[in-house]
Amino acid sequence: MKKLSNKIVKLLIKKKLNISFAESCTGGLLSSSITSISGSSKVFTLGLVTYSNKAKINILKVPKKLITKYGAVSYETCLSMVKNLNKISKTNISISITGIAGPKGGTKEKPVGLVFIGIKKGNKTLVKKFFFKNKKRSSIQKVTVNKALNLILSFIK
C-alpha cells in the first residue's frame, strides 16, 4: 500500500493534479495512506469521512430519497457521493467509497464485503462494484483502499 501511495503522490505532483476523498466504510484509511507520504500536502486537498447517512446527506448533499430508495451502499449513492465531492472540493480527481465492512450489517442482497468505489476525473466518472468474500473487517478496509489506489493510478497514468 505504501509503495502504491508513494507512486500516486509522485505522479500527482508531476502532473500538477490534486485529489479529494469521501470515505465511508474505510473510515479515513485511504486519506491516511496518502497523507503518510511526504509531499502529499502538494496534492491532497480534502478527505471526508461521511460514515453516517446523515453526513452523506448534510455534507455531501446525497439526496435522502436516493439513500432511502437504493441504500447507503449502492451504485447510486456512490455516484452521488463522488459527483458532489467533486463540486465541493474542486479537485482534479475525486474518490468516493461506500460499503459494508462487517462483521455485522450485511444482508442477503447486500452481504458483508460489498463495496462501491467511485472516481471522477474531468468528464470521466466511474463507479465500480466489488465483493470481498470471507474477509475480516480490517481486511475489507485494506483491500478496498488498495483497489481505490489502483483505480486512482489507472486514472492518472
Q: Which domains does the chain have, with CATH numbers?
A: 2-156 (3.90.950.20)
Is the peptide bond preceding residue 63 cis, with omega within 30 degrees of 0?
A: no
What pLDDT does residue 58 have? 98
Q: What is the mean pLDDT of the chain?
A: 96
Q: Which pTM does this prediction carry?
A: 0.97
Mean pLDDT computed over 120-132: 96
pLDDT of 118 > 90? The answer is: yes
Bridge-partner residues for 95, per DSSP? 21, 119
| Residues 153, 154, 156, 157, CA torsion sign | positive
* Alpha-carbon distances, residue 98 vs 37, 56, 83, 85 (angstroms): 24, 10, 14, 13
Amino acid at 110: K
pLDDT of residue 6 exceeding 80 = yes
Give the per-residue pLDDT at 2. 87
149/152 Cα distance (integer angstroms): 5
Determine the Cα angle at 128 with ends 124 and 133, to 5°.
Answer: 165
Q: Which grid cell is 1?
A: 500500500
Q: What is the mean pLDDT of residues 7-25?
A: 97
If pLDDT is split at 50, 70 and 90, which confidence band does 18 have?
A: very high
